[in-house]
Structure 1
Amino acid sequence: MRARVPLRAAIAGAVVAGGVLAGPATAQATPAGPGVTARLIAQKTVGDTDYTLREITIPPGQATGWHYHDGPLYAVVKAGTLSHFASTCASDGVYPKGSAIQEPAGPGNVHIGRNLGDTPVVLEVLYVLPHGSPFSEDAPNPGCPFE
Structure 2
Amino acid sequence: MTRFGRSARSIAPLVVLAGLLLAGCAQPGQLGHDAPPPPPAASPVAAAQAPPPLPTGTADVGRGTLPARIQMSTLGPADVSVRTVELAPGESTGWHRHPGFETTIVNSGEVTVQTAEECAPQRIGAGDAVFVPDAQAHLMRNDGTVPAQLVVTQVLAPDAPDRSGVAAACGNSSLR
Structure number with the higher helix fraction is 2
For residues 17-74 of structure 1, what are the alpha-carbon distances to aligned partners after superposition, in whole Å with 9 as ceiling and x for unaligned? xxxxxxxxxxxxxxxxxxxxxxxxxxxxxx7210111001110011000011111111
What is the TM-score with the length of structure 2 in the denominator? 0.53
Tell me the distance in 2 between the aligned counterparts of 1:101 and 1:86.
11
Question: Which residue, out of 117, 142, 145, partners 1:115?
Answer: 142
What letter matches 1:135 in structure 2?
Answer: D
- Taking structure 1 as the reference length, the TM-score comes to 0.62
What's the CA shift for 1:81?
A: 0.4
**Unaligned 5+ residue runs, structure 2?**
1-59, 64-75
Please tell me whether the aligned partners of residues 7 and 100 of structure 1 are also in contact (alpha carbons under 8 angstroms): no
2:92 matched residue in structure 1:
63
1:78 is matched with: 107
RMSD: 2.3
Percent identity reads: 28
CA distance in 1, matches of 2:62, 2:88: 22
Runs of at least 5 residues in structure 1 that lack an aligned partner in the other structure: 1-5, 10-46
Partner of residue 90, structure 1: 120
1:7–1:76 Cα contact (<8 Å) kept: no
2:52 counterpart residue number: none
Stretches of 4+ aligned residues off by more than 6 angstroms:
none
Count how many residue pairs are aligned between Structure 1 and Structure 2. 103
